[in-house]
Homo-oligomer: A and B are copies of this chain.
Amino acid sequence: MRYFVIIGQTATASGEFLLDDLPGSSGRLDVLLRCIRAALSFSHGLRHDTRVYLVLRGGAQAPRTLRIDGASAKFIRPDERSLAILVKKTLAAAVNLPASGFVELRPGLAVSRGDWQCALPDMHGAALYWLEQSALDIRNAELAPGTMAFFLGDHHGLNAETQGELLALGAVPLSVGPVSLHSDDVVTLVGNELDRRSV
């Protein structure tokens, strides 16, 4: 299994954003939506071995985490507006969530209260990595066999507190090259490296 956890510092945790102005109305949820496509899609369908967690730290409902499971998700289309509609409906349906645990609200889409730590029970035994520009190149890294989880930030990157918490859990920082890229490009590059190693 592959897990991608993308942390949106300002991305709204509620469905109250405008489809016609995603960047301006959603706390840059658009950055995270593009990561869904990059993580889950390939030419012929969805990656059944991959789950994406979008950590939504913006707005009154924050923090919440949205989980999209490539094995069971339906209606995942690659265009941004379709993804936005799906996420908007899912977040709007997330009322009376329990104090902890994911609640599936649409096929393969589940929401939990809480920051990225709420995803940890799903990742039991996974090797943890986080993406940072100055770290060891993933091409030269020894990656653990089996399940891996990759944490990355939005356009603001991961803040120092989150980096510290991940380090305390033994997470290893990695980079994907010499140029600082958009989050969805980073997801694409990590996915490609894993594809190459799993042949």
How close is A80's CB to chain B, nearest CB, in angstroms? 4
> Contact: B78 with A79, CB < 8 Å?
no
Within 8 Å of chain B (Cβ to Cβ): is A60? no
Oligomer copy total? 2
Task: Encode contact with B along A172-198: 1 for CB under 8 Å, 0 otherwise.
Answer: 000011111110010011001001100
Within 8 Å of chain B (Cβ to Cβ): is A61? no
**A180, closest chain B residue (CB):** B43
Binds B, one of A34-42, A98-106, A111-119, A160-168: A34-42
Instruction: Write out the residue numbers on chain B whose beta carbons fall within 8 Å of the beta carbon of A20.
Output: 19-20, 81
Instruction: Write out the residue numbers on chain B whose beta carbons fall within 8 Å of the beta carbon of A192.
Output: 176-177, 179, 181, 185, 189
Which A residues are within 8 Å of any B CB, using their own CB? Answer: 19-20, 22-23, 30-31, 34, 37-38, 41-44, 77-82, 155, 176-182, 185, 188-189, 192, 195-196, 199
